Structure 1
């Protein structure tokens, strides 16, 4: 059973900072892009004085380069849905408003 909640982009980022872990599975819909896969790394470093929140995702695909990096802060206004499937616990579908 997947729990569905509605959040603002900032609420989603706060949720992910506290709950997203390496090796969790995620399905990210932003703009016209859908990325599904395992979280390989989470980078919250600052770049040129600007805070970042980048996730490295190993896509569930057979493309030439199945690993992508998504800056969630940069694309937060374009996020549509984020399905978080933690290794331990119930999956949660976050719909953005």
Structure 2
């Protein structure tokens, strides 16, 4: 009985991978791109409807707080830059489609 259940679980996992292109546990995690975008928006303190100008302004404000010349760190600047770059790339992708 246990071997049948294990075999069924393995077959179901393989079918999911073949049909959906992802393993079942990957489907349960959600879209990592959406999570990265949400983290970037949270870091910059902007909402999902923010446009190009809002992203640039939020990045500028954040850099004023976290820049090493003002007591911040290089790591914080890199995180802010990465968040800005990600969101600007998403905006460009949406305009292109």
**Which TM-score applies when normalising by structure 1?**
0.24
Kindly indicate which of the two structures has a greater share of residues assigned to strand: 1
**Which TM-score applies when normalising by structure 2?**
0.24
Tell which structure's C-alpha radius of gyration is larger.
2
